Each structure stands twice: as C-alpha cells, then as structure tokens.
C-alpha cells in the first residue's frame, strides 16, 4: 500500500469512526477523468496520472489503468528510465512489460489494473476503488477500446 492509498483508507477509517462520513463510502477514492481515450494515440505507458497512483497504458488498441503499487510487497512502481516500454520496482527489482506481465521477479503476478469506463462525453474515467488482478484482465470494466471515446 502506497502513501496516498494508506492516507485515503486511514482518513476514511477516522471519518467512519467519528460518524462523520456523509453519503460517500468512507475511504473511497474519487474517480479520475483522464480525458478522451483517443488522446493516447499510440501504444505506450503514460505517467501523466502517476500523482493519482496509476499508469495509463495503451496496449494493442486497448486502454487501461494500472496501479503504481507493486504486486510483490507494495512499493511504488515507476516506468523504467532505460526502457520506457517497461515498468520497474526499485525495491526488489521486479520488471513488468508494457501489458503489465512480470518479466523479472520476485513479483509473481502482473500489475493490478483499475476500473475504467467511458462516460457520456467520451472521456475515460478511472475507478481507483475497483481492482483487477491478472486473472481478471479480460473482465468487463478492466479496459476500454482506445477508439471508444469520441474525437
């Protein structure tokens, strides 16, 4: 668990304990509008939303969001500065390819993907409260077609 997620969960617990939570569920992270999906015009790993704790990845025409939290022990991942088609963990050296599959351990599973949909305005919206482990990567809500959003 990285710092941002820890703080979100922690603050939600405090609010819940104080009975101060309003309509929104405690600890929930707000959705992030990443703009029209077609702005990600080529297959690549984008760090534009790294402050929100996810990469935006376009891979073989599909667009998805992948958590920056390493599936091994929770350290924060970064795009590999030596090879921008890869993601690397500085803690123990795991490396992931452009799809999020482990190339080098000790991580034993791929990146955690986050929920993503396209809204009525054609913008891709990332739901950071919805997580998809590697065996769920083909599930509905785990990716959008890059051409799905409006021009």
Residues in touch with ligand FES (CB under 6 A): 70, 72-73, 75, 89, 91-92, 94, 106-107
Q: Which residues pair with 44 in a beta bridge?
A: 58
CB of 114 to ligand FES, least distance (A): 18
Q: Which is nearer to ligand FES, 70 or 146 (CB)?
A: 70
CB of 106 to ligand FES, least distance (A): 6
Per-residue CA distances from 105 to 1, 94, 109, 130 (Å): 19, 5, 9, 25
Tell me how far apart the alpha carbons of residues 132 and 66 are, in angstroms, rounded to a whole number: 9
Q: Which is nearer to ligand FES, 36 or 74 (CB)?
A: 74
Query: Which residues have a Cβ under 8 Å from the Cβ of 100 and sit 6 or more positions away?
Result: 57, 66, 87, 110, 111, 113, 134, 137
Tell me how far apart the alpha carbons of residues 37 and 50 are, in angstroms, rounded to a whole number: 17
CB of 39 to ligand FES, least distance (A): 30
Contact 112, 131 (CB under 8 A): yes
Q: Which is nearer to ligand FES, 89 or 146 (CB)?
A: 89
CB of 103 to ligand FES, least distance (A): 12
Q: Which is nearer to ligand FES, 66 or 107 (CB)?
A: 107
Q: Which is nearer to ligand FES, 92 or 147 (CB)?
A: 92
CB of 85 to ligand FES, least distance (A): 18
């Amino acid at each position: 668990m990285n710092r941002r997620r820890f703080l979100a969960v922690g603050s939600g617990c405090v609010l819940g304990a104080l009975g101060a939570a309003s309509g929104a569920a405690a600890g929930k992270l707000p959705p992030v509008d990443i703009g029209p999906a077609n702005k990600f015009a080529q297959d690549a790993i984008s760090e534009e939303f790294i402050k929100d704790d996810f990469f935006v990845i376009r891979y073989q025409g599909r667009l998805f969001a992948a958590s920056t939290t390493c599936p091994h022990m929770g350290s924060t991942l970064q795009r590999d500065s030596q090879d921008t088609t890869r993601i690397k963990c500085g803690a123990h050296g795991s490396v992931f390819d452009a799809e999020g599959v482990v190339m080098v351990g000790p991580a034993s599973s791929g990146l955690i993907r986050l929920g993503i949909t396209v809204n009525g305005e054609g913008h891709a919206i990332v739901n950071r409260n919805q997580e998809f482990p590697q065996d769920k990567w083909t599930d509905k809500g785990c990716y959008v077609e890059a051409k799905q959003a409006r021009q």
